[in-house]
Amino acid sequence: MMEYKKNDVLTVTIEDIGNDGEGIGKVDGFALFVKDAVIGDTVSVKIMKAKKNYAYAKLEKVLTPSPFRVQPKCAFHKQCGGCQIQAMSYERQLQFKQDKIKGNLIRIGKFDEAFVDSVMEPIVGMEEPFHYRNKAQFPVGTGKDGNPVTGFFAGRTHTIIENTDCALGVLENKEILETVLEYMKQQGVSAYNEETGKGLVRHVLIRKGFTSGQIMVCLVINGKRLSDGSFLPKQEKLLEALKNIQGMTSISVSINKERTNVIMGKEVHTLWGSDTIEDSIGIREGEDFAKTGKAVSFHISPLSFYQVNPYQTEKLYSLALSYAGLTGKETVWDLYCGIGTISLFLAQKAKQVYGVEIIPQAIEDAKKNAENNDITNAEFFVGKAEEVLPAFYEKNEGDSAMRHPDVIVVDPPRKGCDEVCLNTMLKMQPERIVYVSCDSATLARDLRILCDGGYEIKKVRGVDQFGMTVHVETVVLLSRNRT
Ligand code: SAH
């Protein structure tokens, strides 16, 4: 086999897609990983980093474009890194995500390919895969001319690419960001500098309730309360300008003085309007996920997790609900419940729901959400799933009904479930487990543990919550083996 080295220029046809969306091609058995190349392209590339059998190469020129290549909407998609596959047709994106889930189940979960094919249902795509995000967090920095700027960090760097008009976000983002920047400029308010740890405004969080039209703006600041009780210099100027924007409901600051890349600080102070915004989610059923059930309304705080794609969230939750197979008699746990979104869907069809979530504010929201929707059969616990669940199990020794719920739903963050949590789930022996996952690699790892512990995968279905990106949500139904 030929050996290649840095700066070699090669022509290659892209035949595969890596998990991060990169194009993969081979020259004489030597694999090349090429960011921004689309499967089916023939491209000229320059090697950046060479190993023995493979190399990372930079796309120099598309020689013959792939039939799957499309004109990207956003001029910054390559630098930003948020939309890794915007240059790929949406149809092909969905196929990639279906294959990604399948590949992880086979490779990491060690499930047989024929078996995986037999349980996988077709991925649920979006009708309109742009402007779907209800939440955006824009970093604020200082431009070359000394004025405050906002946009996106380029790739994994700390350089901000100016852009107030993200193709995935709501149209209001632009006006809100321009208002904040104008205020900062007028009042001489500094932007935070990650290198020095100095400067005031770090991020602008914007959230919109798609059904309510309500908008929340939260400025993350590296500062504390000023002597006059405000948090920002000439705060009223900013509030006056922001509250004129249609839908504005909540304006707050979050204090973050830590030198980390965690965006939000733990403390939030409302400066104007309500502490939360409202949104509602309806149930969808059938092949085309037509709207059917009564909508549940939610209050959302700046710190609470809330699914970012409202169109697809309805489909995701409806799918999780249908996999749960509830008749009204069941006891159900909803682990990693956030503000109780899935819990309150479940509660309408179950006897009793228990939710567990680590963020106290989210649990406060969950309790209020239950109350506002007249739901009385949902109880919520603050804490780690891997601590709350075992403690509950131990405490109820001798009470079989409490120890053995009918269904457990889990929806963990990307790192998946803690092993203690999985093992306790196995001890609790629910009839069904519904696993909602935003990372099919950790999902596959956890499914192996659950299957070795006596469960069987019945159904797997991807839901595209994140069009244009390489991320995909997956819902899995497992049922207990009766042997
Ligand atoms: N089911 C919810 C939230 C899913 S996101 C929804 O669809 O809206 C995952 C949630 O898990 C987040 O709210 C996060 O705060 C919470 N979380 C993270 N680690 C946790 C842990 N160890 N135990 C319980 N909750 C956790």
Are 321 and 288 within 8 A, CB to CB?
Answer: no
Q: Is 155 among the domain residues?
A: yes
- Strands 148-153 and 160-162 turn out to be antiparallel
Q: Is 87 among the domain residues?
A: no
Cα–ligand 1 centroid distance for 43 (angstroms): 42
Give me the domain span that covers residue 15.
9-64
Q: Which among 176, 177, 119 is positioned nearest to 477, based on CA atoms?
A: 119
Q: Is 88 among the domain residues?
A: no
What is the phi-psi region of residue 146: left when phi exceeds 0, alpha when psi lies from -120 to 50, beta otherwise? left
Total tally of structural domains belonging to the chain: 3
Tokens, residue 229 = 């009780």
For residue 50, pLDDT beyond 80: yes
Residues 270 and 364 in one domain: no
The shares of helix, strand and coil residues in the chain, as percent rounded to the nearest 5, are 25, 30, 40
- Rounded mean pLDDT of 64-84? 93
Q: Is 52 among the domain residues?
A: yes
Q: Is 36 among the domain residues?
A: yes
The larger pLDDT score, comparing residue 286 to residue 141, is at: 141
Residues 474 and 342 in one domain: yes
- Rounded mean pLDDT of 396-411? 96
Q: Is 121 among the domain residues?
A: no
For residue 294, pLDDT beyond 80: no
Q: In this prediction, what percent of the chain has a pLDDT beyond 90? A: 90
Indicate which atom in ligand 1 lies nearest the CA of residue 313. Answer: 7
- What's the rounded Cα separation, in Å, for the pair 218 and 361? 16
- Rounded mean pLDDT of 281-301? 88
105 lines ligand 1 (CB under 6 A): no
- What's the rounded Cα separation, in Å, for the pair 290 and 82? 30
Cα–chain center distance at 456: 27
Phi/psi of residue 267, nearest 5 degrees: -95, 135
Are 351 and 372 within 8 A, CB to CB?
Answer: no
Domain boundary among 19, 42, 64: 64
384 lines ligand 1 (CB under 6 A): yes
Query: How buried is residue 436: exposed, middle or buried, by Cβ count under 10 Å (0-12/13-18/19+)?
Result: buried
What is the phi-psi region of residue 102: left when phi exceeds 0, alpha when psi lies from -120 to 50, beta otherwise? alpha
Mean pLDDT of the chain, nearest integer: 95
Residue closest by Cα to atom 13 of ligand 1: 338
For residue 288, pLDDT beyond 90: no
Cα–ligand 1 centroid distance for 446 (angstroms): 16
- Strands 135-142 and 201-208 turn out to be antiparallel
- Rounded mean pLDDT of 52-59? 95
Residues 262 and 295 in one domain: no
Residue closest by Cα to atom 22 of ligand 1: 384
Residues 285 and 261 in one domain: no
Cα–ligand 1 centroid distance for 338 (angstroms): 5
473 lines ligand 1 (CB under 6 A): no
CATH code for the domain of 338: 3.40.50.150
The DSSP result for 123-157, as a single string, is: EE--SS-SS--SEEEEEEEE-TTS-EEEEEE-TTS
Residue closest by Cα to atom 12 of ligand 1: 338
Confidence of residue 81 (pLDDT cuts 50, 70, 90): confident
Q: Is 213 among the domain residues?
A: yes
For residue 107, pLDDT beyond 70: yes
For residue 368, pLDDT beyond 80: yes
Residues 219 and 287 in one domain: no
For residue 157, pLDDT beyond 80: no
Q: Is 71 among the domain residues?
A: no
350 lines ligand 1 (CB under 6 A): no
76 lines ligand 1 (CB under 6 A): no
Domain boundary among 255, 275, 295: 275
Residues 268 and 302 in one domain: no
161 lines ligand 1 (CB under 6 A): no
Residues 253 and 335 in one domain: no
What pLDDT does residue 413 have? Answer: 97
3-class DSSP state of 207:
strand
Cα–ligand 1 centroid distance for 461 (angstroms): 20
Residues 268 and 284 in one domain: no
Residues 296 and 252 in one domain: no
Cα–ligand 1 centroid distance for 436 (angstroms): 11
Tokens, residue 396 = 């109820």
Residue 172 identity: E
Residues 223 and 345 in one domain: no
Residue closest by Cα to atom 16 of ligand 1: 336
307 lines ligand 1 (CB under 6 A): yes
- What's the rounded Cα separation, in Å, for the pair 81 and 194? 19
Residues 50 and 173 in one domain: no
Most ligand 1 atoms within 8 A of CB, residue of 318, 358, 364, 465 to mutate: 358
- Rounded mean pLDDT of 54-68? 97
3-class DSSP state of 222:
coil
What pLDDT does residue 154 have? Answer: 79
Enter the pTM of the model: 0.94
Cα–ligand 1 centroid distance for 122 (angstroms): 26
Cα–ligand 1 centroid distance for 291 (angstroms): 26
Residue with tokens 């504010």: 361
For residue 283, pLDDT beyond 90: no
What pLDDT does residue 70 have? Answer: 97
Confidence of residue 277 (pLDDT cuts 50, 70, 90): very high
380 lines ligand 1 (CB under 6 A): no
- Rounded mean pLDDT of 131-160? 90
Residues 422 and 449 in one domain: yes
342 lines ligand 1 (CB under 6 A): yes
Tokens, residue 141 = 């920095």
For residue 207, pLDDT beyond 80: yes
Q: Is the four-CA dihedral 402, 408, 413, 419 of positive or negative sign? A: positive
Active site residue 417: no
411 lines ligand 1 (CB under 6 A): yes
Domain boundary among 46, 64, 82: 64
Residue 237 identity: K
pLDDT digit string (tens) for 435-483? 999 999 999 999 999 999 999 999 999 999 999 999 999 999 999 998 6
Tokens, residue 120 = 């996988």
CATH code for the domain of 254: 2.40.50.1070
